Amino acid sequence: MSMDAERRRRSRKWADFPLAMAMIAPSAVVLGVFVLYPLGRAVWLGQQRCNNFGGNCKSQGFGQYVDLFRSTEFQNALLVTFKFALLTVPLGLVAGVALAVLADKYLRGIGAFRAIFSSTVATSVAVASLMWLFLLQPSVGVLANVDWFNGLFPSVKDPGWLQDPGTALTAVAMSSVWASLGFTFILVTAGLQSVPRDLYEAAAVDGAGGVRQFWSITVPMLGPTLLFVLIVLTTRAFQAYGEVDLLTDGGPQPQDSTTTITYFVYGQNSPIQSDAGLQAAGAVLLFVILLALSALQLGGIGRRVHYGD
């Protein structure tokens, strides 16, 4: 009797198992083969050196990760990437919030302005970067051929902002901030619309001005949205590849002023481009750094963010 019940219970437990496996299998196979396996394989490959064709690999021991991390080239890429993140993330966040707050009023035609502010979300990295390449290019670019502008800023023509090691990274960062403006604007706008208006009315009654309302109501209520945008923008900065590839090829050389980590791993001018082992090691280091950064942001700021009901 009790064994019968036990068997029935167990068969019920397994009843949906075949169906569940069949439904999960397509996703599981793709994610297993193209996300989890390559990550594991890259960790293994990262301690090897290979020939030009990625074959004939020889183990170097896991010390290779340390060697690569300490190498001048990787340290340079790491520094460039951190600088790039420091240029793009705060500016992108502030610009996105400013635009969203600016457009968060009921005015005739505000829909058109919102559409314009969102519009850069429709540009791919290639489209956005080429638009900026044409703006900044020193011989055939727009700004270099506007007389009053190149009179004001001669460096736009000679050597060119993308060609000067001192300004190249900032110029690439501007392109990147512009490209992600639409994304940040849309998210912050949605966040603003979910802030209960009574809070502002109550604050106004209590005599709080616009600035006070912004810091005491808007910012805390936007907390989760801002944290999400912060993490996404930081991740994007560390994954920056297309804008570097199209605008500067990682240069100007020989300083590699715009060689980000991702470009260091995959770029056509990269010194490790022909060694799958070192490339894998670089890719794994990128993963570890991103993971640590997200954890820091979630742990450090996330704990102070208030999630409403």
Partner 1 sequence: MATDTAPVAGERGREAMAVADDAERRRVRRFDEPTGLRRAGRYLLLFVVAFIVLFPVYTTVIAALKPSDKVLQNPLLPDAFTLEVLGDAWTDGRLGRYLLNSLVVAVVVTVAQVVTSVLAAYAFALLEFPGKRVLFLAFVATLLVPLEATLVVNFDTVDSLGWVNTYQGLAVPFLATAFGVFLLRQVFLTLPRDLRDAAAIDGVGHLGFLRHVALPLVKPTLGALALFSFLGSWNQYLWPNLLISEDDKNTVQSGLRLLSKANLDRPNLVMAGTVIAAVPIFAALLVFQRQLVRGLTAGAVKG
Task: Spell out, one character per residue from 158 to 177, where the chain touches partner 1: x when CB under 8 A holds, - when not.
Answer: --------------------
Smallest separation (angstroms) from partner 1 to the CB of 8: 15
The residue range among 73-81, 150-158, 164-172, 287-295 that interacts with partner 1, by the rule CB under 8 A, is 287-295
Q: Of the two residues 87 and 278, which places its CB atom closer to partner 1 in the complex?
A: 278
**By CB under 8 A, how many residues form the interface with partner 1?**
101
Task: Spell out, one character per residue from 8 to 47, where the chain touches partner 1: x when CB under 8 A holds, - when not.
Answer: -----xx-xx-xxx-xx-xxxxxx-xxxxxxx-xx--x--
Q: Of the two residues 64 and 137, which places its CB atom closer to partner 1 in the complex?
A: 137
By CB neighbour count within 10 A (0-12 exposed, 13-18 middle, 19+ buried), where does 277 fall? Answer: buried
- HSE on the CB side for 255, CA within 13 Å? 13
How open is the CA angle 64-70-74, to the nearest 5 degrees?
A: 95
Smallest separation (angstroms) from partner 1 to the CB of 99: 6
| Residue 138 in contact with partner 1, rule: CB under 8 A | no
| Residue 239 in contact with partner 1, rule: CB under 8 A | yes
Q: Of the two residues 76 and 145, which places its CB atom closer to partner 1 in the complex?
A: 145
Task: Spell out, one character per residue from 178 to 217, where the chain touches partner 1: x when CB under 8 A holds, - when not.
Answer: x--x-x--xx--xx--x--x--xx----------------
Q: Of the two residues 1 and 106, which places its CB atom closer to partner 1 in the complex?
A: 106
Interhelix angle 223-238/168-193, rounded to 10 degrees, is 150
| Residue 266 in contact with partner 1, rule: CB under 8 A | yes
| Residue 296 in contact with partner 1, rule: CB under 8 A | no
Query: Is-contact 129 171, C-beta < 8 A?
Result: no
Candidates 92, 242, 250, 251; binder of partner 1 (CB under 8 A) is 242
The residue range among 60-68, 73-81, 134-142, 250-258 that interacts with partner 1, by the rule CB under 8 A, is 134-142
Q: Of the two residues 169 and 240, which places its CB atom closer to partner 1 in the complex?
A: 240
| Residue 290 in contact with partner 1, rule: CB under 8 A | yes
Q: Of the two residues 1 and 112, which places its CB atom closer to partner 1 in the complex?
A: 112
Query: Is-contact 261 78, C-beta < 8 A?
Result: yes
Q: How far apart are CA 126 and CA 131, in angstroms?
A: 9
Smallest separation (angstroms) from partner 1 to the CB of 5: 18
The residue range among 60-68, 160-168, 213-221, 241-249 that interacts with partner 1, by the rule CB under 8 A, is 241-249
Q: How far apart are CA 178 and CA 180, in angstroms?
A: 6
Q: Of the two residues 4 and 307, which places its CB atom closer to partner 1 in the complex?
A: 307
| Binding positions for partner 1, 71-130, rule CB under 8 A | 99, 102-103, 105-107, 110, 113, 115-128, 130
